[in-house]
Amino acid sequence: MWTWKIRDLCVAAALVILGALAMAGTGFSLLLIIGIAYAVLTVQAEDVTVVDFVIYACRFFFAEQQEFEWRLTRDETKGQEPVNGGTDRDFGDA
């Protein structure tokens, strides 16, 4: 229902307000940038935040081994010659 949790909304609002005050007074905008980045990274959609999605994507692409097994069914091998003059077992049919 909510786009942010209450805690994340309060932290982001405080960072953005402090960042805007710091930028107005000193021209230093790092705190404002951090507040906006925090607000974007904590947006929720269906109980998953942007940070969670990035973590899941990194795990999927970089951390976990992906295994794929390719097999042809008997229907897909009809009319094809076995590899190197082999038998039907070369098509995965046991």
Find the mean pLDDT for residues 65-82: 70
Distance separating alpha carbons of residues 32 and 29, to the nearest angstrom: 5
Higher per-residue pLDDT: 4 or 44: 44
pLDDT at 20 over 90: yes
**pTM over cut 0.85:** no
Q: How far is CA 38 from CA 13, 43, 44, 63, in A?
A: 10, 9, 12, 25
Cα–Cα nearest to 64, from 73, 56, 72: 56
Cα–Cα nearest to 37, from 50, 24, 53: 50
